[in-house]
Structures are given as C-alpha cells and as structure tokens.
Chain A
C-alpha cells in the first residue's frame, strides 16, 4: 500500500501527463474544427454575396456617351411571410417555404438557448431539424439550441458520437435536444438527424475544466482577429461552457445555422 506522499507524487506526475496529452488533443480538434467552420463561413458568405449582387444591386453600366445607364431592376424580392423565418434561400434567393405543423412540435422553453443579451433570437425556427426533419435545408438548423455531447461518467475516453444511447462502459449524458429528438423522431431517425448536425458545427465533446477555458478564450480571440468573426462571448452556465459566435447578416444569409451559431461544450456532473 502506498503512503499518501507516494500517492500524491504519483497523482501529480500521471495527472500532469494526462492533462498535457488531453490539451494537445483538444487543441488539434479545435483548430481543425475552426478551419472547417471558417471555410464553411467563407463559402456561405460567397453564396450570399453572389445572390445579393444578382438579385438586388442594380448594375450600372457606362453608356456610349459616357453617361451611366441604369439597367432595369430585376424582379422584386418576394415579401417575407411572417409565418416563415423570412430568410432568403441562400442559393436562388427565393423565399423558402416553412411547412406548418412541424414534426418536432413547439420548442420546450428549457431547450431554447437565449442570446447573450437575454433576448430571444429573432430567426429561430421552432423546428430543430427543419420541416422535413432534414437538417440544414431551411436554414433553421440549430438556431437557438445548445448541443451537449455525451461522455461516459468516468470519462475514460470521450465518446466520438453523440451520446443518444448509453455506452457500454458508462453513464450517458444527453441533452434536452437529444432527448427531444429521440422522443419525437425515434432512436433511428434521431441518430441520422443528430449525426448530420455534426457536419455543420464544430463540436468538442471533451469534458473541460477551468484551464481549458483559457484555450477556448484564446481561440475565440484568434477567430475574431483572423476571421473577423465576433465570438468574444465565453460564458458558463450551470456547469455548461458556451463559446458563441455572432455572425453578420451577410455571413448568416448563406450559413446553414441561420443568424447565429456556436459550439457548446458538455460539462455536467449529473446525467440527464
């Protein structure tokens, strides 16, 4: 049996090694995710800009006498229907349709993620997976929702996929959103829907401690500096750390996540 001094020494040595390895792993994940996100943003911005130029900006061309000639205006944009979220389709600029009676029903207020100023998001659809249960198509994906990924209770290894079912070796933690998806779509459909979400947002399912906040804060600063994305908000609520980004309307128009996106880190000590 070890004395407490021996155990403390061993705890500090092994603990530090594990921590270093884990921070390195997270940094790699975070960097990769950030790059993917920025590419996606750039592509979204490009689409939005092209769409805007084609449909809204009047082309002013010089006439033969040097006097600018204004081309006829294109067809006016359709008036947004207050029943829909009002965002133009990022590809063709037409008004998207919102099918009433969404399959997921109204949102539980507990599932809703408020914006940083305490006001609800304007463009958030009540349907977390879109009208057809098909994420991303109507731009409503993930608006106002937090994503908490699962991890087993002892956190020996982070689970690589959303924890919508208990892994063999630990307690599974599930977010209200995941619970809702399972309840309303059935486990099989929920799996598909949730896995597809992964393609849109960078998610880090590692459990984080106080030291990790530094990494995320630095990453937020870097994003703001390099990509011009305002994501200075890093906050913690009931043990859940949030790193949020606010997009400009131009960025948001072509972005599948709507007018806001973020990634949210799981950190709970109680299973849902």
Chain B
C-alpha cells in the first residue's frame, strides 16, 4: 500500500500523525500542481491547506483502486476549479504583492523540484496551454501513469496519450526558442 494511503488509514483510526505525514509528503507537490490552475502560489497554498482540512473534516472514503496521490490531487483539483468559478474574472488579481508571490513560487519550486534542469523545464511549461501544462506536470514531475492522469483529468487513456504527445511537441518548440536542445532537458 502506498504510504499516503496507509497514513490516511491510520488517521481514520485515530492516529493524528497520519495527517501530519500526509501534509509533509504531499504539501509541496500538491501546491505546485494547484498553482498550475490558480496561477498564484499563495492561493495554491490556501487550496492545498483546504484539501487537507477536507480530509480531516469530511473523512472521505478512499478506495485502493486509485493511487492515493491521484485521489488527493483530484480533491485539490475540484477545490481549485470551484475557486476559479467563484473568481468570475480570473485576470482581476491584485498586482500588490506580486513580487512576494513570485519569490515564494520560486522558493517552492526549488524546494520541491530541486534540480535546476527540472526547474527550467517547469518554467518553460508555464508558457504552454493549461491542459498541456497539467499533463506534462503530472507525467514528468509527479510520475503518474497514463491511467492515473486520465482519472484526474477525466480523460481516457488514448486522449491522455494524444494530449501528452501534443504537449511534448509544444514544449519542444518552447525549449528551442530559448536556444536549448530539447534532448538535453
């Protein structure tokens, strides 16, 4: 059983350390994933926290059929989508504090992604269409399988493969624009 799943099970049995472990293991990855939706690392942090709060408050049922990470990310994704729906105009974000937001984003990237190569790739992905960015992030950075990505994005395996192919092509064009060889990344 995946660590997250066993931690969650222990939490449901009354061991609070279970939730602490889940926060420790999934906080940064989930935050970066949600940042891909909301484009604001502070909002992504709040949504990440809300995701964990949801586990404590609602104790939703987890099925072993899915990877724990896929399940957790799906909860976070739903929260992010609801958040975006509430924000009628997404572009209406205050400019105040943008520098701090960007600095925090860089800090989380460094902490979670560690390698410069990955950070560079992650930033190039930022220029891509949201769907491409999501699928590349889940595939390369979270190492999810096609089926798991499909479950998260509500697509079948074939659609994920096609999407991934197009996303890679788009990323390749971006890397070449920057003067990198795609193969080096």
Binding site for B on A (CB under 8 A): 1-2, 4-5, 7-8, 10-12, 14-16, 18-19, 22, 152-156, 168-171, 207-212, 239, 267, 269
CB of B102 closer than 8 Å to a CB of A: no
Question: Is B78 a contact of A153 with CB atoms below 8 Å?
Answer: yes
**Given contacts A15-B52, A154-B79, is CB(A1)–CB(B108) below 8 Å?**
yes
- Complex formed: what's the CA distance from A153 to B76 in Å? 11
- Complex formed: what's the CA distance from A212 to B107 in Å? 40
CB of B59 closer than 8 Å to a CB of A: yes
Chain B residues with CB under 8 Å of A156's CB are: 82
Beyond A1-B108, A15-B55, A171-B78, 15 additional pairs, beta carbon < 8 A: A1-B41, A2-B49, A4-B23, A4-B24, A11-B23, A11-B53, A14-B53, A15-B52, A19-B58, A22-B57, A153-B82, A154-B81, A155-B54, A168-B85, A169-B82
CB of B125 closer than 8 Å to a CB of A: no
B39-72 contacts to A (CB < 8 Å): 41, 45, 48-49, 52-61, 63, 71
- Complex formed: what's the CA distance from A169 to B84 in Å? 9
Which 8 residue pairs spanning A and B have beta carbons closest together?
A15-B56, A209-B59, A18-B57, A154-B82, A8-B23, A11-B52, A8-B20, A153-B78
> Total interface residues on B, using CB and 8 Å?
33
CB of B104 closer than 8 Å to a CB of A: yes
**Minimum distance in angstroms from B135 CB to a CB of chain A:** 20
Chain A residues with CB under 8 Å of B49's CB are: 2, 7, 10-11
Binding site for A on B (CB under 8 A): 12, 16, 19-20, 23-24, 27, 41, 45, 48-49, 52-61, 63, 71, 74, 78-79, 81-82, 85-86, 104, 107-108
Chain A residues with CB under 8 Å of B78's CB are: 153-154, 170-171
Question: Is B61 a contact of A210 with CB atoms below 8 Å?
Answer: yes
- Report which residue of A2, A8, A169 has the largest number of chain B beta carbons within 10 angstroms of its beta carbon: A8
Question: Which residue on A lies nearest to B52, using beta carbons?
Answer: A11
Question: Is A210 a contact of B19 with CB atoms below 8 Å?
Answer: no
**Minimum distance in angstroms from A2 CB to a CB of chain B:** 7
- Complex formed: what's the CA distance from A7 to B27 in Å? 9
Chain A residues with CB under 8 Å of B54's CB are: 15, 155
Question: Which residue on A lies nearest to B62, using beta carbons?
Answer: A269
Question: Which residue on A lies nearest to B26, using beta carbons?
Answer: A4
Question: Which residue on A lies nearest to B53, using beta carbons?
Answer: A15
Question: Is B53 a contact of A155 with CB atoms below 8 Å?
Answer: no
Question: Is A210 a contact of B12 with CB atoms below 8 Å?
Answer: yes
